[in-house]
Amino acid sequence: MSAKKISSRGRQANKSSSKTNKTKDQKKSYDHPKKSTSFKKKLGDDKKPLSKGKKFSGKGKPNPYRKDLRKDTPQERIIEPTEIRLNKYISNSGICSRREADTLIKAGNATVNGKVITEMGFKVKLTDEVKFDGSLINPEAKQYILLNKPKNFITTMDDERGRNTVMDLVGNATKERIYPVGRLDRNTTGLLLFTNDGEMAKKLTHPKHNVRKLYHASLDKKLAMSDLQKISENFVLEGKMVYVDAISYIENQSKTEIGIEIHSGRNRIVRKIFEHFGYKVVKLDRVIFAGLTKKNIPRGHWRPLTQQEINNLKML
């Protein structure tokens, strides 16, 4: 019985068919990795690289459209909006949602530059003065940053003479524009709060709220007990009455080291108090401000307030 001959064309057809079937099996394996143990083995156990010419179909290719848009989009096209809807402005300030803001706008609770606005969709500029229930609001997220100020930094937003300012120390603390609450003179160290919450800043700086500020003063000579007694009693300085909440020697230290608590916001008031009685303040450090302390804040460093600390300030 003679052997059946297979033509070269037949052999090529069988080879092509085998290769096609194999390719389909591979694609099936890749399309259903959870059902294929061979695919898991290929990823995990088989460390050999794929042979040249074999590639994953499409999965390894980057998205050319997204990449090109990110690369080629000119910066000039990215423009910050100059106007936003009033309801969004109110919502961004943290008062309520946009839907609730619409209801309150209709009721006449919002004013823009002193004028009551009840129109839906009304747009405001970021430079406009917007008030809600009579209080000035800000569309930015509220930020509260506590700094342990070092010496030789002045408390101002900028300085024409190019001196170091406290803003140099907190410049990367937040993207919102914050400003210092109150002042510490150039040579005074210690706690300084920064925020963009105008109502909070006003509350913390007004004497009627009796915000506690405790200082550690180092004097050029020992403070006499008689002078300490006089300072503890109310007295007139520069034509105005000075009220010192508390004053004492610091325990286990020289009588040149004094703790003084005061709620007055007058400029350089602590230094002026001691100068009035013939003493010079060599060092002055604010160690407590509105219940906040320097704990875990090295000199020249800052940290954001915790939510509990923010709540405590709002209850003052």
Distance, CA of 279 to CA of 9 (rounded, Å): 112
Please indicate whether residue 285 is annotated as part of the active site. no
Active-site residue, from 128, 133, 185, 220: 185
Residue 113 phi, psi (nearest 5): 55, 40
Q: Are 167 and 158 in contact (CB under 8 A)?
A: yes
Strands 135-136, 235-237: parallel, antiparallel or unpaired by DSSP? unpaired
Q: Are 192 and 178 in contact (CB under 8 A)?
A: no
Burial 218-242 (b: 16+ CB within 10 A, else e): bbeeebeeebbeebeeeeeeeeeeb
Distance, CA of 234 to CA of 241 (rounded, Å): 7
Identity at 220, one-letter amino acid code: D
Q: Are 136 and 198 in contact (CB under 8 A)?
A: yes
* Positive or negative torsion for Cα 98, 104, 109, 111: positive
- Write out the catalytic residue numbers: 185
